[in-house]
Structure 1
Amino acid sequence: MKVILVDDEPAMHLILRKMLAKLPGIEVAGAFTDTKSAASFIRDSGNIELAFVDISIPGESGMEFAVSMEAANAELQIVFVTSHKDYALRAYELAVVDYLVKPVSQERLGRTVNRILANRRQASPSREVEPGTEQSDKTRVTVLGDVSVSNERGRVKWISRKCAELFAYLLIHHGRRIPRSRLVEDIFGGMVVSNAESYLNTTVYQLRKSLETIGLRDVVRSENDGYALELKDSIIDYIEFARRVEEIRPNEVRDMERALQVERLYAGRLFGDKAYIWAIYETERYEDLYASFVKQLAELLISIGDSSVASKLLLKLNERNPLDDSVIRMLMTIREMTGDKKGLTVLYTDFARLLSRELGIRPSNEMIHHYDLLISRFDDSNKRSTTLERK
């Protein structure tokens, strides 16, 4: 997907370029310090799908730029990247896809981009079928990197954080009745029981009101002093991700493009930054599934010589878990493949320092041996070169 950057600070161009370079499937086609130049480039190019736009730009503001793009019916999605939190409500009124506050973290940017890529892929098949077919009325549930529910009637706006949490809890136990006593304990634990039960009543009401806006009030069923979530004709992203991981064989070269598409479905941790205590097991399970899948892809990419994409995938894993030495070993292998001895040494040294600082331990014997082996290859290569020069 081709994207552009619109910010009057050139430093932000460099920062975003570096961060976006770590995300597979993204190409930065241009960077502009004013909206007029950006609009002209969009018209001439015709294939720009996403713009990261600062709001406070001299001349035409980012807001005005978004309005003009919408009026021109440009097939352009906009993400605002700004220092001004107070613009958020106005931004969403313009139907921008996200609103990022500086300084933007790599994980937050990754969640936004992966969600856009996933929605883009899900929308593609719908353009190939007739209006009114089964694709048009499906409900889409996104819980990787966020908690979101939408269909052709719009997107749910949660009345409260607790009603979003209750939805997430019932979704994980989809179709199963959950007793009120368990909901009180898991979601409202720590409160006086009578208060917690009253709070649960309010939250169930708020959840139904939230879902009612897109015609889904009745999906939350009352059943034998408990509740169950029954979603029909729905696409649930974490279930779809797990299903497609199971279907694909990333160790086969012919499946590589499909495998990369599946990787991008994982837009972030289960429920994003919500960090629900009751969801720790499921969150870690899907994190492990994603990590294992990406490592398989990286190993295959390394074996066929595609170090660039492999490096991007591994750097994403490293952002999530800097202490995973298997990821560092693969990144070290890539440094050796590309002849980057200095980069290899820096990578190993930084990892050793991280282990010492955070855990008070040294790299494993396997890691030390791997590093020595890769360094020796550089030395052997230099010796061969010297011998050839003498001859």
Structure 2
Amino acid sequence: MMKVIIIDDELAMHYVMRKSLAKLHHIEIVGSFQDTASASLFIQENDVHMAFVDISMPDESGMSFAQRMAEQRPDLHIVFVTSHKEYAMDAFDVYALDYIVKPVSLERIERSVKRAMAIQRFMEMDEDDKGNNQIDIYGLGGLEVRSGTTGYVKWRSRKSAELFGYLLMNRGRMISRARIVSDVFGEMPQKNAVTYLNTTIYQMRKSLQPHGLKSVILSDHDVYGLDIAQESIDFVLFEDGLKRFAVIDANNLYAALEIEDLYAGDLFGEKAYLWALNDIERLSSLYAVFVKKLASVLLEHQMDDTAVRLLNKLLSYNEWDEETVQLLLSAYAAQKDKISLTRVFKRYEKNLRKELDTAPSKELVHVYAQLQADVDIRR
């Protein structure tokens, strides 16, 4: 059971978060606080695994609170829930698990909880189960590295994490110093970039050293690489898993759902490094094709609730995809949920007019009208 607290000076957010968290399994809300001082005292005296924290708080900011917790309770999973997008990179520096921008959605909260629970399960495993030096890398939805010896890696700087991610995407190859400087430190003057690269390599190795992973960073004169097993990387497992589902049917439906669950978000999440944009788009496209195929099969087997959940998740990544909207409309129609059916179409129509100055296709308008009529008949 994941024990959770909520820290926000607005009582309305306590209600919103409690309502959402109550819908998730294996979650127990053990406290709600309007200031960090009360929350800190509670954490000292009680078993708490996860804290949803607002950044703008009276007396002490949520960011300062997270910094203290990183030192006092490094096992506490901090998730920022805030109206301020600009603090996302600062949150990374205080080892926050996640960063959610208000208004929150159940899907977004569930993603954070799943990540925290995965870490919790790993930390509770026996050492024999973990292995002497097992490493697990999670690049979908963010960037986390965990070893079987001491838990998750705490990066000494943003750039050290970014450079690890860069070498991870180029694993199995030795990359020249010049190319790394161009791709990762391109915004700096050449002389400064070379110095910063040396510092970042040092910081990266120091971050990995407590986990017995210092040696995975390879270097030879002016080239660098990463020596790591592909089977420990979530986006590799995801992409390899997709190859088994050229056809999805009743025989492999639940196996397909397990592969879908690996996709906790786009590659590297909100960091979205410029040098990774092609891979981000490629994996996102593969996921979209897979989920739409999977959702169609789910609807054929009357698994409407699961189809709705996956399609809403997909739509949160690409709100302009008409095929996803059409499938979601069909899923709500299968549930005889005319309110949600109408809400999704009207929201899509409004966003198209507002952002792109266009309208839904005639085909979608026709499908929407037909589904509305079908729901009325079935009622």
What's the TM-score, normalizing by structure 2?
0.80
2:164 matched to 1:146?
Answer: no
Identity of aligned residues (%): 35
Cα pair distance change 1:110/1:284, threshold 3 Å: farther
Cα-to-partner distance string for 1:280-327 (whole Å, 9 max, x where unaligned): 011111112222222222222211222222112211122221111112
Match of 2:76 among 74, 96, 104: 96
2:276 matched to 1:288?
Answer: no
Distance 2:247 2:46 in 1: 40
Distance 2:154 2:275 in 1: 23
Structure 2: segments with no counterpart, 5+ residues: 84-99
Does the aligned pair in 2 maintain the 1:341–1:378 contact within 8 Å? yes
Counting only pairs closer than 5 Å after superposition, residues 161-180 of structure 1 correspond to structure 2 as 161-180=158-177
Aligned residues: 349
Name the counterpart of 1:66: 43
Query: How far off is 1:132 after superposition?
Result: 3.1
Cα-to-partner distance string for 1:318-364 (whole Å, 9 max, x where unaligned): 22211111121112112322333343233222211211111111212
Name the counterpart of 2:113: 113
Larger radius of gyration: 1
Distance 1:281 1:233 in 2: 20
Counting only pairs closer than 5 Å after superposition, residues 234-383 of structure 1 correspond to structure 2 as 235-248=232-245, 251-378=248-375, 381=377
Cα pair distance change 1:146/1:154, threshold 3 Å: same
Cα-to-partner distance string for 1:247-303 (whole Å, 9 max, x where unaligned): 357722343333333222222221121121000011111112222222222222211
3-state SS of paired residue (1:374): helix
Give the structure, 1 or 2, with the largest relative contact order (CA under 8 Å, sep 6 or more): 1
Does the aligned pair in 2 maintain the 1:138–1:233 contact within 8 Å? no
- Give 2:250's aligned amino acid: V
Does the aligned pair in 2 maintain the 1:118–1:264 contact within 8 Å? no
- For the aligned residue pairs, the C-alpha RMSD in angstroms reads 3.2
3-state SS of paired residue (2:142): coil
Distance 2:281 2:246 in 1: 23
Distance 1:166 1:311 in 2: 37
- Give 1:155's aligned amino acid: Y
Name the counterpart of 2:51: 79
Structure 1: segments with no counterpart, 5+ residues: 29-47, 71-75, 386-391
- Give 1:345's aligned amino acid: T
Cα pair distance change 1:89/1:166, threshold 3 Å: same
3-state SS of paired residue (1:310): helix
Cα pair distance change 1:204/1:2, threshold 3 Å: closer
Does the aligned pair in 1 maintain the 2:2–2:49 contact within 8 Å? no
Cα pair distance change 1:262/1:13, threshold 3 Å: farther
Counting only pairs closer than 5 Å after superposition, residues 126-141 of structure 1 correspond to structure 2 as 131-132=127-128, 135=131, 137-141=133-137
Does the aligned pair in 2 maintain the 1:298–1:310 contact within 8 Å? yes
Does the aligned pair in 2 maintain the 1:355–1:363 contact within 8 Å? yes
Cα pair distance change 1:376/1:234, threshold 3 Å: closer
Cα pair distance change 1:341/1:232, threshold 3 Å: closer
Does the aligned pair in 1 maintain the 2:21–2:27 contact within 8 Å? no
- Give 2:156's aligned amino acid: I
3-state SS of paired residue (1:137): coil
Distance 1:52 1:166 in 2: 38
Distance 2:230 2:129 in 1: 12
Query: How far off is 1:223 after superposition?
Result: 2.4
Distance 1:154 1:5 in 2: 22
Cα pair distance change 1:373/1:52, threshold 3 Å: farther
Name the counterpart of 2:218: 221
Name the counterpart of 1:43: none
Distance 1:120 1:246 in 2: 30
